[in-house]
Amino acid sequence: MREANETLVGASGALRRLLEDADVVAPRDATVLLTGESGTGKEMLARYIHRQSRRAGEPYVTCDCAALSPALIESELFGFRRGAFTGAVRDSPGYFASSQGGTLFLDEVGELDLRAQARLLRFLEDRTVVPVGAVSPCRLDVRVIAATNRDLEGMSRKGEFREDLFYRLNVVNLHVRPLRERPDDVMACAEHFRTRFAVAHAKTVVGFTPQAAAALAAWHWPGNVRELRNAVERAVLLCRGTWIDRADLPPRVAAGTRLREALADACEEGSFAGSTERFQRRLLFSVLRDAKGNREEAARRLSLTVHQIKYLVKKLGPAPQ
């Protein structure tokens, strides 16, 4: 989520405590390391810290370390002087100097190579950079917030990440928990995104049906908040009425709750073989109903072939009432 106006939304105690910690850290200039799985909202938290700091009116610059060119990484980070190398036809400030007075967010800092890590460590120690092609160091006033979804401590033990840099970055560690560990935040986030995308796409979508809400709550969200955001935007776009229904959600999200319902129904009573058949029947015909009878679409949602769908319809029919 890279929109400048994006906010952290949720109702869980975990998120509340995280924001309380961020409020304490924000006014200081300490380096902050944000950890957590991809898509949990680490950049949103970095923006939040910047907005709450004394640097709020100064630049906020994001550097995606994973996207930096290995051959040009130092010049992109620390800048270069005209004539420093072929193609350097003018001075360039680099990410650090562009952040002067403000905050530099180093996303996926674990992707930096060891040489760039050494240069970053030097900046954190003396707050100076030497642009490529320059001789004299430049002193900068920049706050660094770094983020990673990798285990930097484990990487340092393997020699893949400088141990001294890890300790410099890890002055304050704020861990963003995955969405599956914050179930109270799912619907709060979903409603936030529904409102936002209904406006963005000029659609009158007023809420989620109970079936859609149950599907959102049942899904484990491996892609975290980013996956939820995309799922809700898709649902808003596909919604044909004023309420988002389960069929408007991505197939795997919708199928997840179908799977749980079918399993619960099948296990109520009876033998293992009978329960298995009831489970297959309920799941198969629920997905076919959602796919409006389209067997190719049902096969795609269930990771089966159309031939297998035809065989199961013949074997398990008729459809449950």
pLDDT, tens only, 94-149: 899 999 999 999 999 999 999 999 999 999 999 998 887 777 888 999 999 999 99
Residue 1 is assigned to a structural domain of this protein:
no
Helix, strand, coil % in the chain, rounded to nearest 5: 50, 10, 35
List, in order, residues 6 or more apart from 281 with CB less than 8 Å away.
Answer: 316, 319, 320
Lowest mean pLDDT: which of 109-118, 173-182, 296-305? 296-305
* H/E stretch holding 145: strand 143-148
Q: Which of these three, 155, 177, 199, is where a domain ends?
A: 177
Residue 196 counted as domain residue: yes
- Do 151 and 191 lie in one domain? The reply is no
Tell me the average pLDDT of the chain: 86
How many domains are contained in the chain?
Answer: 2
Identify whether residues 163 and 191 lie together within a single domain. no
Instruction: Specify whether 45 is located in the same domain as 153.
Output: yes
Classify residue 136: in a domain, yes or no. yes
- What is the pTM (predicted TM-score) of this model? 0.76
CATH of the domain at 216: 1.10.8.60
Inside any domain, residue 103 = yes
Asked whether residue 187 falls in the same domain as residue 159, the answer is no
Q: What is the pLDDT of residue 72?
A: 83
As a dihedral over the C-alpha atoms of residue 281, residue 271, residue 215, residue 148, rounded to 10 degrees, the angle is -120
Find the domain containing 71 and state its range.
13-177
Can you give the CATH number for the domain in which 158 is found? 3.40.50.300
Which residue from 79, 100, 78 is spatially nearest to 90, judged by alpha carbons? 79
Q: How far apart are CA 246 and CA 238, in angstroms?
A: 11
